[in-house]
Amino acid sequence: MKLNVYLAGEIHSAWRDEVIAACDGLEIDWMGPVTDHAASDDCGVEIFGAEEDKFWHDRKGALLNAVRTRTALDRCDVLVVCFGEKYKQWNAAFDAGYAAARGKAIIVLQPPEHDHALKEVDAAANAVARSPQEVARALRYVTTMTL
């Protein structure tokens, strides 16, 4: 089975690279957000002009990034969403909610200490993983039917 997988969530660790490497040989097309933090933050003003107010600066970027995110989430079969330890990933929670509303399969990647805070997200998910390797094993099982 071929899958389109969207990798959402924190951009401060190599979890995406770990999942992709561990899924080598599987028929998976990978999608995800812009992971260059500066490009993601500044794309709106870089393309559409500067803003003096930081709110409008950020809004221009968020609206432009939403074109990519919504399109990719609509096209994906599975959303893998990672909640890291360093920052609160409000965008990741939003992506998970959007995917759930669209009826997408969801695998959450989170440390145990986030279980309580993410209980609603986890309840909407099909699986909760603790490591990129668990995510890869789940995707391998789904695509090949082997453990």
pTM value? 0.94
What is the CATH classification number for the domain harbouring 48?
3.40.50.450
Q: Which of 99, 95, 94, 96 is CA-nearest to residue 74?
A: 99
Query: In the chain, how many domains are there?
Result: 1
Name the residue among 33, 102, 101 with its Cα closest to residue 62: 33
- Structural domain of residue 140, as residue ranges? 3-144
Virtual torsion, Cα 55, 58, 61, 67, nearest 10 deg: -70
- Note the pLDDT of residue 143: 97
Full pLDDT tens readout for the chain, 147 residues = 999 999 999 988 999 999 999 999 999 999 999 999 999 999 999 999 999 999 999 999 999 999 999 999 999 999 999 998 876 788 999 999 999 999 999 999 999 999 999 999 999 999 999 999 999 999 999 999 999
State residue 133's pLDDT score: 98
